Amino acid sequence: MKDLRVALFTGNYNHIRDGVSLTLNRLVNYLEDQGISVLVFGPSIKNPPMDHNGELVVTPSIPMLVPGRKEYRITTHFPKSAKKRLEEFNPTLIHLATPDGLGIGALKWANKKNIPVVSSYHTHFLAYTSYYSLYLSPVKKPFEWLMKWFYKKAIHIYVPSESMIEELSRLGLEGDKRIWARGINLELFNPSKRDMEWRRSVGFKDDDIVVTFVSRLVWEKELSTYIKSVRALQKKNSKVRALVVGDGPARKEAEENFPSGHFTGFATGEDLAKAYASSDVFLFPSHTETFGNVTLEAMASGLPCLVADAIGSKSLVDDGVNGKWAEKQNVKDFTEKLEWLTSDENRMKEMGKKSREMATEYDWDKINAGLVRNYREALELPQS
């Protein structure tokens, strides 16, 4: 069996705390625990918001030129100093997580050295080009071509859900697509973390129905659909209350638009787990997810989930079983589905129990062990 030494190239590892960075850091931690050598290449900033796992080789990057998203960065190239460190590391497998300047440079390096390349698809970039069409429409077609070229070069493409595989195939992205799902900490995210004293302390009554949104607060997560849907239902049912967990560039405007909502700001660990479990319904209208980590956290916390009928989220939520699907960007549909969910307390509780039961299938160690098996399969294939 060939020695497995993994070089991971990513556009986000420690400069933003989000689903991508958390997933990749957890992977690196798992690989090192298994005695597998791994080296990470990616951008960073001064005083990053999270401590990273493993060794990170910082590469040149620039802020993303989209209003409200300057905290995101684009790596520009694969510099000589980073190549030298890579050659010292002597990888046997290259894992590309982002189709950017760094990823393209690493792909070319691997092809020249005849080293196998695998890739993973974390962010539905093509959906973002549609969302920011005013700024990105001129590059949409070239970017589609780049995506197809980039991912076609990989032996495997690791995708978080079956619905994402179907979507990428529909868009013409070729390659051997395999599921690398996301896991959950079932001890942390748990219905037992429900805290009625905490609910009361933030102004919720015991019989209020707390509808929660958890995410980085940016408008492309469909925060406006959440606000409009909850506000519409509150006109019919005064017991419906809003809880928004997270921070980001849209927070100030969202608070101004929704003064009756309770905004916690950024939360993690036990504070985040308590917020989930102390809620009654999770409402997440985003339709740009490749998986939906926050939906899985809500499920593990025992909440029924109302999500967009879109890739990612609907792979987790079984419509009518542990929640409902609503048509993406359709406030009327989300409002009606939310009214249906909240109109029956027993139904909410039964769906919440089913969510918890379904979440127990997502064990991180099993998921990452499956990825390593795919790594080893790619490693044994003959290179052209």
Nearest Cα to 42, choosing from 30, 31, 33, 53? 53
Nearest Cα to 371, choosing from 95, 169, 133? 95
Is the domain of 346 the same as that of 373?
no
Write b or e for each residue in 60-91: b if 16 or more Cβ atoms lie within 10 A of its Cβ, otherwise e: bbeebeeeebebbbbbeebbeebeeebeebeb
- Amino acid 157: pLDDT: 97
User: Which residue range is the domain that position 111 belongs to?
Assistant: 5-183+363-380
CATH number at residue 228: 3.40.50.2000
- Amino acid 125: pLDDT: 64
Is the domain of 48 the same as that of 152?
yes
371 burial via Cβ count (<10 Å: 0-12, 13-18, 19+): buried
Beta-bridge partner residues of 151: none
Nearest Cα to 17, choosing from 63, 50, 54, 58? 50
- Amino acid 68: pLDDT: 56
- DSSP-derived 3-state class of residue 269: helix
Instruction: Read off the tokens for 198.
Output: 């905490």
Is the domain of 168 the same as that of 217?
no
Is the domain of 164 the same as that of 204?
no
Is the domain of 265 the same as that of 281?
yes
Is the domain of 231 the same as that of 322?
yes
- Amino acid 131: pLDDT: 53
pLDDT, block means (10 residues), the chain with 384 residues: 94 91 96 98 94 97 72 91 98 96 97 97 67 60 86 95 87 92 94 98 97 94 97 98 96 96 96 98 90 92 96 87 97 98 97 97 93 97 75
- Amino acid 134: pLDDT: 54
Is the domain of 375 the same as that of 270?
no
Is the domain of 128 the same as that of 37?
yes
Is the domain of 175 the same as that of 232?
no
pTM (global) more than 0.85 = no
CA 218 and chain centroid, separation: 14
Is the domain of 313 the same as that of 375?
no
- Amino acid 292: pLDDT: 83
Is the domain of 318 the same as that of 375?
no
Q: Using alpha carbons, list the distances in angstroms from residue 47 to 9, 71, 126.
A: 21, 13, 30
Is the domain of 212 the same as that of 146?
no
Total of domains in the chain: 2
